[in-house]
């Protein structure tokens, strides 16, 4: 805890949403900035269990004070994906069908929710990022009202960031800053798959 300097003078609520690329990326960039100034950063990733992502590897290198916790289905080929030897073939094993979640998907979301709640209640981080929480609502894993309860739990001096497309209006209305990423063009449209070190 930043006992000598205190936490953020103003702990606000930020929302990054929209159909364009960059929501998680922006949140990670904010996390790096805060970490560089000595703030404790914790990202809780809903619906993500793909342990090969670059941000997971980076957090391990950064060590104490920059944490990422994932709750979701993992890839069938995490080592090959992490090394860049294998590109995602779109098998869909790590995907959740909208409105038709499996029990394991709901269990993952509940675990992510519990950690998010504990983090805010115990002030275990100065910047808390709830990554893809909007998707957890959209896919039927959590009701928007319970996510709003997390926002209400936010202590003074803690910055809270919510990400994901299809952000519920209830959460948008609770935010101090709302940014919508709009897709103008994306390489996926031309057949270019997600790239190692760029999309993951």
- 142's tokens: 């959590």
- For 20-74, what is each residue's pLDDT tens digit? 999 999 999 999 999 999 999 999 999 998 777 899 999 999 989 999 999 998 7
Q: From CA 115, how far away is CA 25, in angstroms rounded?
A: 21
Q: Which of 88-92, 118-122, 185-189, 190-194 has the lowest mean pLDDT?
A: 88-92
Per-residue model confidence as pLDDT tens digits over 112-137: 999 999 999 999 999 999 999 999 99
Q: At 76, is the pLDDT very low, low, confident or very high (cuts 50, 70, 90)?
A: low
Q: Nearest CA to 175 among 32, 24, 16? A: 16
Domain spanning 13-190 has what CATH number?
Answer: 3.40.50.300
pLDDT > 60? residue 82? no
Q: Which pair of tokens denotes residue 133?
A: 């929480």
pLDDT bin (cut points 50, 70, 90) of residue 86 is low
3-state class (DSSP) for residue 80: helix
Kindly list the domain boundaries of the chain, sorted by start residue: 13-190
% of the chain with per-residue pLDDT over 70: 84
């Amino acid at each position: 805890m930043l006992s000598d300097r205190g936490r953020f003078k103003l702990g606000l609520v930020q929302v990054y949403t929209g159909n364009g690329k960059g929501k998680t990326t922006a949140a990670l960039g904010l996390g790096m900035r805060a970490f560089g100034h000595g703030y404790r950063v914790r990202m809780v990733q809903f619906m993500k269990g793909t342990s090969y992502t670059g941000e997971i590897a980076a957090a391990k290198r950064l060590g104490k004070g920059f944490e990422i916790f994932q709750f979701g289905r993992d890839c069938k080929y995490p080592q090959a994906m992490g090394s860049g030897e294998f590109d995602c073939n779109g098998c869909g094993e790590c995907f959740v069908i909208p409105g038709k979640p499996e029990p394991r998907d709901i269990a993952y979301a509940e675990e992510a929710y519990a950690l998010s709640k504990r983090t805010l209640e115990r002030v275990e981080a100065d910047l808390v990022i709830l990554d893809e929480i909007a998707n957890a609502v959209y896919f039927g894993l959590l009701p928007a009202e319970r996510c709003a309860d997390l926002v209400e739990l936010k202590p003074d001096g803690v910055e809270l960031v919510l990400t994901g497309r299809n952000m519920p209006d209830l959460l948008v209305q609770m935010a101090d800053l709302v940014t919508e990423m709009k897709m103008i063009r994306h390489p996926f449209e031309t057949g270019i798959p997600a790239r190692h070190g760029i999309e993951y």
